[in-house]
Amino acid sequence: MTDIGETATPAPSAPSPGAAFGRAIRSFALLRESGAGMVGVGLIALWVFVALFAPLVAPFDPNATLQPFAKPGTVYAQGGTFWLGTDHIGRDILSRIIWGSRAVLFYAPLATASAYLVGILMGLAAGYFRGKMDEFLSFIANVILSFPVLVLYILVIATIGASGINIVIAITFASAPGIMRIVRGLVLDLRNRDYVAAAQTRGESSWYIMLVEILPNARGPLIVDACLRLGYVIITIGVLGFLGLGLPPPDPDWGGMINETRSMALAFPHMTIFPCIAISSLILGFNMLADGLREIAIRD
């Protein structure tokens, strides 16, 4: 990676961005045959659209206190309708769900990407160098994995405090070992291929071989896993919010909305039900997309 002269002649397993884009298009064409996959894409696209255009889609200001305890469909005296009702201090639930989608769709991919960055580097190092390095990294991974994940999140967040960036740190800490195990397994298989031997003979550096020769060939299972993991991360962010360890108020966060109105759930179920539907539908989207991608992977 550091020597530009070496990378001037691209290895066959290091495709140009154009070829990668073409393959992505072809994968999408295949995905269209999978009903579940397309439903997943649709659900995710819907929420991405809502998040991007939140200021245009949301009928009210998400933090404005308008009319407390309004039932769904109540018409607001100063214009507009509370389609999903309002919460205990009079904020419009639909607008809060719409604005809350931004938080989820920002932090969940960020946390997943961060966990993948750490997990992939650990897995590549463990699988490629083997020996002491592998034993050391695998032991760390086993220690972290021997712990129920949620316990780990709670302990880390309760100690370092609840904020967006701390959630990302906690998720990275707890998910990287699982990703490392998958990557390590794939690398142990791929490191004996001829193209790796060829690169070693050419005198490429270890990290060049790992990142340019091995990693692109391990992408298939990793993409499916990333989709599933994104779903789990959304659950995690929701659970942390629900336990009161999520993003700090007043900005809307789906898990936090459920936590705030939980005590009133039996009298005013609309306050908790709609955020729950929102988060479940987004997770369902990622799980169905993962299912569709897995179908394609099996067929290839």
Q: What is the contact surface with another protein in residues (CB under 8 A)?
A: 36, 142-143, 146-151, 154-156, 158-160, 231, 235, 238-239, 242-243, 255, 258, 262, 265-266, 269, 272-273, 276-277, 279-280, 283-284, 287-288, 291
Q: Is the dihedral of CA 232, 44, 166, 224 positive or negative?
A: positive
Query: CA 85, 97, 164: angle at the middle one, nearest 5?
Result: 140
Which lies closer to another protein via its Cβ, residue 19 or residue 158? Answer: 158
Token pair for residue 13? 């397993």
Residue from 89, 109, 96 nearest 48 by CA: 109
Query: CA 133, 139, 140: angle at the middle one, nearest 5?
Result: 95
Residue 242 CB, shortest distance to another protein, in Å, is: 4
Residue 126 CB, shortest distance to another protein, in Å, is: 17
CB 201 within 8 A of CB 123: no
CB 175 within 8 A of CB 229: yes
Residue 208 CB, shortest distance to another protein, in Å, is: 34
Which lies closer to another protein via its Cβ, residue 142 or residue 200? Answer: 142
Residue 199 CB, shortest distance to another protein, in Å, is: 32
Which lies closer to another protein via its Cβ, residue 191 or residue 270? Answer: 270
Alpha-carbon distance of 231 to 282, in angstroms, equals 8
Which lies closer to another protein via its Cβ, residue 110 or residue 273? Answer: 273
Which lies closer to another protein via its Cβ, residue 110 or residue 154? Answer: 154
Residue 230 CB, shortest distance to another protein, in Å, is: 12
